[in-house]
Structure 1
């Protein structure tokens, strides 16, 4: 009856349910796992970063898995080098997890050509780790395109860019989308400046942009670099948005409460995590095969850091 056998009558189902409630019965997960040959645990491979995106996605994924009744195993890598990532993946496989969720900045694995025997959910891009693989992530390209078009629509001749570290696929996707949007509009594509996701790296980029009067609009690959950029420009005497308009990416909680509320691209990481885990459960239950790729929509949130360029006198 606890397995919802359709052959059980409603009356019997009610009596058993009452008994379960009275006795405080809980299913024996260990015994069921032995019967099914599964551990009912999901592993998450993620980089050990306090950056908003990875940290928020890790928390949202853990909550989504916990809500399914599955156990949760975490492999938190300190570095983004291939050995650390491989060791983290091996740790999860050694624990006998039923599936692996990958939230990592690198898409290079030595396992790529071997194929894992369990399903893999990537929260970024296709990894080719398993024959049964799902991909669910934010529509970063769509969000970046909207940001660049917003700035061009205000009258800026082009848009400069602070990129994230290029070993991160998300940084590469955002940089490529920025470049593609400018090329589609027939605008010059300036050289980008590479940061490391931190406000400090945005601050350093701002010191360079402040020296260049032709810079009137900047898209930063995340909000923290945009915040550092704003501070740097302020100290250099360049006004935001009167002299330089700025758009970030992520929509971190503090973005709306800065002295100039930040215009940024909002991505709903919790929705991506919940949807990804939902699809993964369908695979584990036998109701879905691999190959699904879904992108969760992003949206531009226009606040106070963008405006039309001020004509030079």
Structure 2
């Protein structure tokens, strides 16, 4: 481990719930960083003491552990709690999900971006997925089921090919929300090692200037698991300053199942929270955009129902989506 000698002090906040082994796995990858955080804060809402015990046994440098109860439980609340505990001299606050594993130069690349782009108020990392990218020449013509960007090509996947055939595929670059929502995630940015400007990225591999939190915080609308809270926050941040994703700041996302909500609640949040961030970004979408939004959600619902014949969890997910779509007809969430 190389202790941080960066001229920009940065803090790491890790919010966790019932994932002791995952936190240790993440911390081991933090320990191997070429640039180490000024401080690390673990914000734990677990019902047991397993995470604390394992952290005490491992004894990591510059780490502070906080156990939260009641009103401070839930991802957005834990993040807001962690922000208040960050040292006043820190300039950047980094957030990592507890089921992330970092490549050794993650923090080095992330913090370097703030130096190279002083106008940046937020920088996100890049998640290495099990997707095969291919470098191509400038004259390459992608197949119908391929996605081409900045000299790299990858497969679209059956769901996106179907959306493309129906005229429902995103019409903006990765990291930007179309008027009908359902844009390309930053996972569609290529492994070029470059930095790309975006208006949102995944909160589980994010960082922000600490001064930003004097103006805004994570929304109280997103309780518990907090699906889409990162997109909501990024979209609000994008009205203040510039956001970037550095594709050289790479991580693995291992999608730990423990600590997730039941699938019915997850399905409900997919629709309800998704509607919330869409209308926060586009308060008065055109009729065509509204029609595309509902069409995409119905298409994804049908796909989930068919998935239910192979995985019963998909049926619970589908039921949650149907419930939220029905509720939206009569009562829409208030914008906070």
Give the TM-score, by structure 1 length.
Answer: 0.26
Task: Look at both structures and tell me which one has the larger radius of gyration over its CA atoms.
Answer: 1
Give the TM-score, by structure 2 length.
Answer: 0.24
More relative contact order in 1 or in 2 (CA 8 Å, sep 6+)? 2
